[in-house]
Structure 1
Amino acid sequence: MNRRKKKFIKFVLKKKVLQFGQFKLKSGRISPYFFNSQFLYSGYDIFKLSQFYAYSIIHSKISFNRLFGLAYKGIPLVSSTAIALKIIYNLNIKYAFNRKEHKLYSDSGIIVGKELIKQKIIIIDDVITAGLTIQENIKHLNQKNIISGIFVAFDRKEKGILKKNSTHQEIHQQHNCKIFSIINVIDLIQYLKEKNTKKEELKNLLLYYKKYGSKKIPI
């Protein structure tokens, strides 16, 4: 694991973004850990997180010209990442995001931002599990657009909605795009092992991963 990933894990543990306990996920799965980006609520925290996103996007070397955030947590992430790309890499990238509901007056519709037609889009969200949120929201993007990639802060590396393939496989098959992350659950497991800390939490995490994790990811 590289130094940047360790730095990010230390950051999200310190800020209690990574929590351990018992959490019911949108997928219905009961998880012994949870990644909650809402605890990054200061200007310093959100900009620091956006720098990690910007670095991941640049070093992925994929072609893109628009950022798209998924409501609600993806909205501050996409705007702050656009700022980080400009400040650090001098890339002036437009961004847009979706609403949870259609607005029926004034700037009506479900997409906020310049119309998305024939764009190479990067989708930004905080975490991916079974891919439900992404699958629900990708349909709002015009079919003439290309989804260049999906970027999340934390990838749980779990089975997809159908529980036969991994989330990565399902999304790649349906939308022909890759998922990129700042860190994933394997990185977290390695970090906890190296630090020899949170032994009970690690034990529960491993049991959960054995049940829901991608079969192609060894531990």
Structure 2
Amino acid sequence: MSSRTAALAHSFVQFAVDAGVLRFGEFKTKAGRMSPYFFNAGLFSDGAKLGRLAEFYARRLIDSGIEFDMLFGPAYKGITLAAAVAVELARQGRNVPFAYNRKEAKDHGEGGVLVGAPVRGRVLIIDDVISAGTSVRESIAMIEAAGATPCAVAIALDRQEKATENGTDAPYSAVQWVEQRLGLRVCAIATLADLLEYLESQSDPQLGMHFARVAAYRDRYGV
């Protein structure tokens, strides 16, 4: 990771904490684990927060060197993210089209499940996190059905923890599964490692307490 990318990641973690999107406590994950932290991108719920989030995505994508022709946002959270990032990329001089899907096909008007620009070329999928890879698999199927090529996935936070398979811990994370099994590069603004570095650098003893708990969680479930 370059120093520029690391600085961006640490700034993003600070922003997520300040915005109340990244919280500490005791939270049950989809896998049934009790996590000492929780990231809820749905709480980027006003114009200023969403605009700043889009700026982080855009800067990370530009720094990544990933070549893409358009953005795709899987329903539901990805819809807002793709639209906001497209606006921010245009503001930074890179105007790209975007599209998203409906959960249910529309049987009137233009019909179909895809909305927005025609899905063509190299398509970058934008979502908040990858928990099980289901959303990515569904997005790939829709993109390929439209005759385009999924090229990468951009997410806000990589939890860097073991995926679950048939109720047991897998030797890989959901992000690693997408990269290795589906062949798509995953570009995250920040990771669990960045979160731990942030917590360790804080002088606030309350945050220091969270560091120990998050580190213990990583030791148990991390990849």
TM-score, normalising length: structure 1: 0.87
Identity of aligned residues (%): 34
Note the aligned Cα RMSD (angstroms). 2.0
Indicate how the Cα distance of structure 1 residues 3 and 164 shifts in structure 2: closer, same or farther if over 3 A, else same.
closer
The yes-or-no answer on 1:103 pairing with 2:110 is: no
Q: Could you say which residue in structure 2 is the equivalent of 1:217?
A: none
Q: Give the whole-Å Cα distance in 2 for the aligned partners of 1:204 and 1:129.
A: 21
Q: Deviations over 1:167-198 (max 9, x none)?
A: 23311233211111111110000110111442
Q: Give the whole-Å Cα distance in 2 for the aligned partners of 1:213 and 1:133.
A: 22
Q: CA deviation at 1:111?
A: 1.7
Indicate how the Cα distance of structure 1 residues 8 and 169 shifts in structure 2: closer, same or farther if over 3 A, else same.
closer
Q: Could you say which residue in structure 2 is the equivalent of 1:120?
A: 122
Q: Give the whole-Å Cα distance in 1 for the aligned partners of 2:75 and 2:203.
A: 37
Q: Give the whole-Å Cα distance in 2 for the aligned partners of 1:187 and 1:21.
A: 18
Matched AA of 1:209: R
Q: Is the 8 A contact 1:129 1:158 kept in 2?
A: no
Q: Give the whole-Å Cα distance in 1 for the aligned partners of 2:163 and 2:143.
A: 21
Q: Give the whole-Å Cα distance in 2 for the aligned partners of 1:99 and 1:35.
A: 24
Indicate how the Cα distance of structure 1 residues 52 and 27 shifts in structure 2: closer, same or farther if over 3 A, else same.
same
Matched AA of 2:176: Q
Structure 1: gaps spanning 5 or more residues: 215-219
Which of the residues 197, 209, 217 maps onto 2:218?
Answer: 209
Q: Is the 8 A contact 2:81 2:126 kept in 1?
A: yes
Q: Deviations over 1:87-125 (max 9, x none)?
A: 11x1110001122222232232222123324x2011111
TM-score, normalising length: structure 2: 0.86
Q: Is the 8 A contact 1:31 1:208 kept in 2?
A: yes
Q: CA deviation at 1:14?
A: 0.7
Structure 2: gaps spanning 5 or more residues: none
Which of the residues 147, 150, 166 maps onto 1:147?
Answer: 150
Q: CA deviation at 1:22?
A: 2.4
Q: Could you say which residue in structure 2 is the equivalent of 1:38?
A: 42
User: Size of the alignment, in residue pairs?
Assistant: 212
Q: Give the whole-Å Cα distance in 2 for the aligned partners of 1:25 and 1:133.
A: 17
Q: CA deviation at 1:130?
A: 3.5
Matched AA of 2:182: H
